[in-house]
Amino acid sequence: MALKLFVDNDVILKLAQYGLLHRLLELFSAPTGTTDIFVLDSARYKLLPKRNPLELCKTESAAAQITAFLDSATKLTPEAIDLELVEVLNAAPGIDPGEALLFAGAANSEEGRVLTGDKRALLGLAEQDLEQISPLLNNKVITLEALIQGFVQLDHHTTQHCIRTNPRVDKALTNVFGVSLAAAEESIHAGLASYVGHVRKALGPILSSGPPFD
């Protein structure tokens, strides 16, 4: 059975801006060696608006990574989702219709994983009836910070360089990796673990135990 990654726009945009999006699949080992990527139907026109494709991603390189990633992905459609679960999730403050679709898509698949950088959506998920939601999303939600932990394990120096040379992408990550001076490796591990641990306190077993991810 293929691993299914349901990837939100925030993760796509920030990893592309860091120059890491094309390496995302290196963080995952699928049971059968195959991985399917699912994105929101709105991803292309949200991330690469026709009036100015560089409006959000800022550089041609980031735009090219986003384009290649979206070309390799499948658009997530409501027809393949448990719409009752979508309605439950969408009723929570902070979870918009797109994030609700991604969470429901992962819940609907044994090998589904949600990759999200949306803090409001994570807070909204924590405010759900976790006894109802947890069994469906157990170990399936992966935050942007956890993905960065994976990239650090994969290639610490390159990851630190990518983040420090793009300080405006994510202020919290910039602070972790060092502003005026490069942070020590031990400090980086502690900073990322702190962010992930904070979310884990709210979501418990819903949050993935990785890296490594499977």
Contact 34, 2 (CB under 8 A): yes
Q: What is the pLDDT of residues 33-43, one digit of tens each?
A: 789 999 999 99
pLDDT the model gives residue 134: 86
CA distance 143 to 138: 14
pLDDT the model gives residue 32: 67
Note the helical H segments in the chain: 9-18, 43-47, 60-72, 83-90, 97-107, 119-126, 130-137, 144-154, 156-164, 171-177, 185-203
CA distance 62 to 41: 20
CATH (residue range 3-144+202-206)? 3.40.50.1010
Residue 10: half-sphere exposure toward Cβ, Cα within 13 Å: 18
Angle at CA of residue 157, ends 154 and 158, nearest 5°: 75
- The DSSP symbol for 9 reads H
* Tokens 């026109």 found at: 45
Phi, psi of 142 (to 5 degrees): -125, 125
CA distance 3 to 114: 11
Per-residue pLDDT tens, the chain, 214 aa: give them.
789 999 999 999 999 999 999 999 999 976 667 899 999 999 999 999 999 999 999 999 999 999 999 999 999 987 778 888 888 888 878 899 999 999 999 998 889 999 999 999 999 888 887 777 889 999 999 999 999 999 999 999 999 999 999 999 999 999 999 999 999 999 999 999 999 999 999 999 999 999 999 7
CA distance 54 to 192: 29
Torsion of CA 107, 115, 176, 212, to 10 degrees: 80
